[in-house]
Structure 1
Amino acid sequence: MAEIRNLADVKKIELDPNRQIHSASEQEILDGYTTDIYFVRTVDILDSMGIADKTVTAEIFPRKPGIFAGIQEAFNVLKNKDLEIWALPEGESFEGKETVMRIIGSYREICIYETILLGILASSCGWATAARECREACKDKSFIVFGSRHVHPSVAPVMERAAFIGGANGVSNILAAKLLGIEPSGTLPHASFLIAGDTVSVAQAYDNTMPENHKRIVLIDTFKDEAEEALRVAKALGGNLYGIRLDTPSERGGVTAELVKEVRARLDMEGYKDVKIFVSGGLYPDKIKLLSEAGADSFGIGSYISGASAIDMTMDLKEIEGKPIAKRGRIPGRVENPKLIRLK
């Protein structure tokens, strides 16, 4: 495998006929295999004219406001090139048309990576922005991102990492957690209770199996009325129970503010005021606010983040050989942004 430099290199690509996963590998991305072919064609044409190595200033800007994420990957794509690189810090907010990344150097070294850079930033910023909306809805309460099941596994760690940058307190995806230097978070699935046939017996086995410092949160909507099951689990685990989780399916009305209020009240009446209520299942900012006001303490959020639209990113050439330039409709020259920091 070698880095694509021209159309001849594209012709030489041969894939393993036994390849089982269609997503690009790390090396394939770094070698330019996921770029749009017209950028490779551009290099060949400019080479024939002897101008592919002109020094350019390229700037990337978003089409709408959001939270910046993905720059570590974007930087890693370019870090071995002879380029000057500037960007916003990860987690920084931006406005539409604001310069979020600036690259200066030979156009040959930038051209083939435009597609890749824009894709990395567009997806990551979209996920981080959705997570920030959830963060604002949760206020000072915690939330974990549970979105991996909604996206292709090749990008699931990228998505959950971006959500953490956007404001999540934890991630359930193992690889995402390891990339962040934290431990993955999560409770138990309905399957564990269905196989055992009883919530309390699983809760007790869970309690006996986990280390002492583990926060025991038990799902209580599998078999019985949620309030009844919450009390059964609380009595069985006593002070070892950190919280209960509500994930009532839509077929039974989902998790509502009224349900949260009832479970909270019944736990309090029986002396379990310290038991937290963790909620999940189709949550979005407005619903998070309602459930929080009703007494929910923490949230598991999946599809609102994983299904967030990418934030369109555009790369423009703003200078060629130090001279301001732009296509029609754009103003020539750099769009300065004091928030940019030099990465290389």
Structure 2
Amino acid sequence: MERMNSLNNVNNWSINSDRRLYSANHDEILKGGTTDIYFVRTQEILNYMDLVDKEVTVEIFASKPGLMAGTEEAMGLLADDNNLKVWALPEGESFEAKEAVMRITGPYSQVGIYETPLLGILASSAGWAKAAKECRDAAGPDKKLICFGARHLHPAVAPVMERSALVAGFDGCSCILGAKLMGKQPTGTVPHAVFLIVGDTLKVARAYHESMPSGDPRIVLVDTFKDEAEESLRLARSLSENLNGVRLDTPSERGGVTSGLVREVRARLNQEGYSHVNILASGGITPERITELKDEGVDAFGVGSYIAGSRANDMTMDIKEVEGEPVAKRGRIPGLSKTDRIIRYK
């Protein structure tokens, strides 16, 4: 695999005219196809001056406090470069603004070409993880959280986002690849589409129970046709102990999932002896809404756009040493940061 370490390689790289998808594939990322062109020009200049293999030590830091995610994928990006030494903050660890979250030592020829994708991996993953952690903090340890964010992002990065949510403490995610990347099975029930096609919530619930594997929880949407409390009782009376939960996804056109709605559904289920039926709330869920609804009877939350739409935690890579000598641009302090939190990965 020839890397994009020269302008000649860039200029000679042709893209198939019949390409069906525009996202970069693994080989394109690994060879530097998503890097910024100015890093290739840097390689050209240093190669011309016979300096391209000078040893450098770089550090990566974030613009604001956050939660580390993307470390494992970053290591996959750097895996083929045996001359690199890498230290990083493990996934799931919190960090402060400007704190070094990764340090790399090696020839600049093996470092510079990866600055763009490396920063992108860490910035996006940390941004999604921070948003997910805010939801976990709001929910507390006992409420179940499921990431439903894949539909809000380009499919090429949706699994990375959902994996970041799992790193931050979510219990599951609906994206198949996102779950598999963490050694989990995807979590989810069925969409409104099946109810609209069948025409009756109870018929779908019965078919769900009869056709799905026995280990899958029976959690059914109840906001498609009728009053949510009424539908919840219809399902509970029919499926009894086989109904694990109901999902409230009331649209904004009808006021969304409110505290009053949750309170009523919970009370009516309890009054008829169905306290075992859990309530899952979804649709525009944020940390604030989790705080509002968790004490009203919601047992689990499906969170999508709040995580998927969160801003990346901008990352910066600085050269801190050249051939062991401390260096820095103006405004930054030369030399390695003092930290005992990053650990050796390779």
TM-score (norm 2): 0.98
Matched, 1:131 2:168: no
Deviation at 1:48, TM superposition (A): 1.1
In structure 2, what residue type is equivalent to 1:21? L
Letter in 1 for 2:235: V
Alignment-mate amino acid for residue 320 of structure 1? V
What's the offset of the Cα at 1:102?
0.2
- The correspondence of residues 262-273 of structure 1 with structure 2, limited to 5 A, is 262-273=264-275
Q: Distance in 1 between matches of 2:338 and 2:186?
A: 39
Q: Say whether 1:47 aligns with 2:47.
A: yes
Question: How far has the Cα of 1:144 moved from its partner?
Answer: 0.2
Deviations 1:5-44 (A, max 9, x none): 2111001101111001000000000000000000000010
Counterpart-to-counterpart distance in 2, 1:229 and 1:182: 31
CA distance in 2 between counterparts of 1:262 and 1:310 reads: 38
Matched, 1:308 2:310: yes
- State the one-letter code of the partner of 1:94: F
Q: In the aligned structure 1, how far is the partner of 2:2 from the partner of 2:86?
A: 24
Q: Which structure 1 residue ranges, 4+ long, deviate > 3 Å from structure 2?
A: none
After TM superposition, give the deviation of residue 337 of structure 1 in Å. 1.6
Aligned residues: 344
1:11 pairs with 2:20: no
Instruction: Map 1:116-265; keep pairs closer than 5 Å.
Output: 116-139=117-140, 140-265=142-267
Residue 97 of structure 1 aligns with which residue? 98
Q: 1:178, 1:167 → 2: CA distance?
A: 16
CA offset at residue 282 of structure 1?
0.2
Matched to 1:30, the amino acid is L
3-state SS of the aligned residue for 1:112? helix
Deviation per CA, 1:265-323, whole angstroms, max 9, x where unpaired? 00011110111000000000011111101110000000000001000000000001001
Q: CA RMSD in A?
A: 0.7
Match of 1:61 in 2: 61
Task: Write the distance in 2 (CA, Å) between the matches of 1:218 and 1:84.
Answer: 50
Structure 2 gaps, min length 5: none
Could you tell which deviates more after superposition, 70-79 or 97-106? Answer: 70-79
SS of structure 1 residue aligned to 2:118: helix
**Displacement of 1:234:** 0.5
Equivalent residue number for residue 21 of structure 1: 21
For residues 320 and 15 of structure 2, the distance between their equivalents in structure 1, rounded to whole angstroms, comes to 37
SS of 1:212 mapped into structure 2: coil
Moved more, 43-52 or 306-315: 43-52
Percent identity, please: 59
Counterparts of 1:132 and 1:101, CA distance in 2? 21
Q: Secondary structure at the match of 2:17?
A: coil
- Residue 136 of structure 1 deviates from its aligned partner by 0.5
- The secondary structure found in structure 1 opposite 2:213 is coil
Q: Deviations over 1:194-225 (max 9, x none)?
A: 00000000000000011222110010000000
AA of the residue aligned to 2:220: V
Structure 1: segments with no counterpart, 5+ residues = none
- Structure 2 distance, partners of 1:302, 1:120, is 20
TM-score, length basis structure 1: 0.99
